[in-house]
Amino acid sequence: MREVYVIGSGLTKIGNLWDKGLRDLAVEAGLAAMEEAGVESVDAVFVGNMMSGILNAQENLGSYVADYLGLSGVPAFKVEAACASGGAAVVSAAMAIKSGLFDRVLVVGVEKMSDMTATEDVTSALATASEADYELFWGASFVSLNALIMRAYAQRYGLKEEDFGWMPILMHKNASDVPYAQLRFPITMEAYLSSPKIADPIKLLDSAPMGDGSAAAVLSASERRDGEGISVALVGFGSATDAMALYTREDLVELKGAKLAAKRAMEMAEVTPRDLQVLEVHDAFSVMGYLNLEALGVVEPGKASRLIESGDADRSGSLPVNPEGGLKARGHPVGATGVYQFVELYRQLSGRAGPAQAGSPELGAAMNVGGTGSNVVVTILRRVS
């Protein structure tokens, strides 16, 4: 089977970017990735996006992004898997290369959430990741579904309010020197504890902000070593689905899809959780970040908060987690998030992470979660040198 290498990356600042539209964001990230890769063309484009139809009155994003990148003619599709759309686009691009039909593929994740042109509000748009008839119709929002998970998780493992604070505190600390991050300021445990609840027990400071952004990567069947002889290979990827509606799951707290996706990716990469040296996890809410760490198998169930509290997950720790600040503080432009994670992992492994560089990791994984765990994509990158 053919190898897949990451040969370039690009991303935009994340935030409520009133002066940039869907098109501007995708083009900025896409061109940056192609420039870093040193290429002027690609064989195909995959766009990860969740809500452009609802929020921007724009579908057909494959053609749209290809056209405005000056690539019109190439095959180009949009891939959607709720908040895992970015990861799904990465995996689609990797399969396209492995099929032998394409040698060099561009992945662009993009979401434009503020300044929307359509009539739906963002909360309703996000809720389309859940089950329309049996969850949304009855008034559940995406936050309230995650609140059910958090409550069950806290109860099962006897966790207290402050146990959930360690995740956002570390994320804000990490993001504070990341130029493109949305929330570049630290928060304290006091601030966390006094933060208002938006869906009990989820606090405002448990929740990723709403933002616009785009990230992109160029994948290639051919290796491309940098000046220091380093290249990065996508050695494993796996994805899995789980029950769509939360109430139909056997266990609110076990993310079966996340475990399955992690298992598939690790089998493909022929690695175990112990081999991983840096992680990107999907902390849309603090509890989801913890459940990701547990599904990856790097910590026992119920112990994720201790991993973060102990300092082991710091940039200087034994297993850095989200060194750029994660969804909570780097930001969460939904359909782009999986590509941000992938790009950040690539930058960590190739020593391009700048102030966020967390040592010199050789192997890392990113977990991108859609819905309340109903669609999960895991990618594993390895440094080759």
Position 222 contacts its own copies (CB under 8 A): no
**Smaller CB separation from its own copies, 71 or 313:** 71
Please pick, among 104, 172, 332, 382, the residue that the annotation labels catalytic: 332
State yes or no: residue 124 binds its own copies (CB under 8 A).
Answer: yes
Give the C-alpha separation, 365 to 342, whole Å. Answer: 8
Distance, CA of 243 to CA of 250 (rounded, Å): 9
Does position 72 interact with its own copies (CB under 8 A)? The reply is: yes
Quick check: bond before 201 cis, omega within 30? yes
- Please report which helix (H) or strand (E) contains residue 251, including its range: none
- Amino acid at position 372, single letter: T
Among 6, 7, 14, 81, indicate the residue that binds its own copies (CB under 8 A).
81
Least distance in Å: CB of 87 to its own copies? Answer: 10
Q: Does 157 engage in binding with its own copies (CB under 8 A)?
A: no
Residue at token pair 């309703």: 124
132 binds its own copies (CB under 8 A): yes
Question: Total residues at the site for its own copies (CB under 8 A)?
Answer: 71
322 vs 368 by CB, closer to its own copies: 368
Residue 257 CA to its chain's centroid (Å) = 16
Which range touches its own copies (CB under 8 A), out of 155-163, 185-193, 234-242, 359-367?
A: 234-242
Which one of 174, 182, 214, 239 is in contact with its own copies (CB under 8 A)?
Answer: 239
Q: Which stretch binds its own copies (CB under 8 A): 53-61, 179-187, 288-296, 340-348?
A: 53-61
Which residue of the set 44, 83, 127, 307 is catalytic? 83
Cα distance between residue 46 and residue 78, in whole Å: 6
* Distance (Å) of CA 323 to CA 186, 192, 329: 14, 20, 11
Nearer to its own copies, 108 or 278 (CB): 108
* C-alpha atoms less than 13 angstroms from C-alpha of 349 in its C-beta half-sphere: 34
Footprint on residues 318-337 left by its own copies (CB under 8 A): none
150 binds its own copies (CB under 8 A): no
Binding mask 7-46 for its own copies (x = CB under 8 A): --------------x-x-----------------------
Nearest CB to its own copies, comparing residues 66 and 288: 66
Question: Nearer to its own copies by C-beta: 89 or 170?
Answer: 89
Q: Does residue 367 contact residue 281 with C-beta atoms inside 8 Å?
A: yes
Do residues 371 and 241 touch, judged by C-beta distance below 8 A?
no
Tell me: does residue 58 bind its own copies (CB under 8 A).
Answer: yes
Whether the Cβ atoms of residue 282 and residue 374 lie closer than 8 Å to each other: no
* DSSP β-bridge partners for residue 6: 219, 232
A 10 A CB-CB count for 274 gives 9
Q: How far is the CB of 240 from its own copies (least distance, A)?
A: 6
Q: Is 70 a catalytic residue?
A: no
Distance CA 382, CA 236 (A): 9
CB atoms closer than 10 angstroms to residue 115: 14
Site for its own copies in 352-381 (CB under 8 A): 370-371, 374-375
Burial 314-350 (b: 16+ CB within 10 A, else e): bbebebbbbbbbbbbbbbbbbbbbbbbbbbbbbbbbb
Q: Is 83 a catalytic residue?
A: yes
The residues annotated as belonging to the active site are: 83, 332
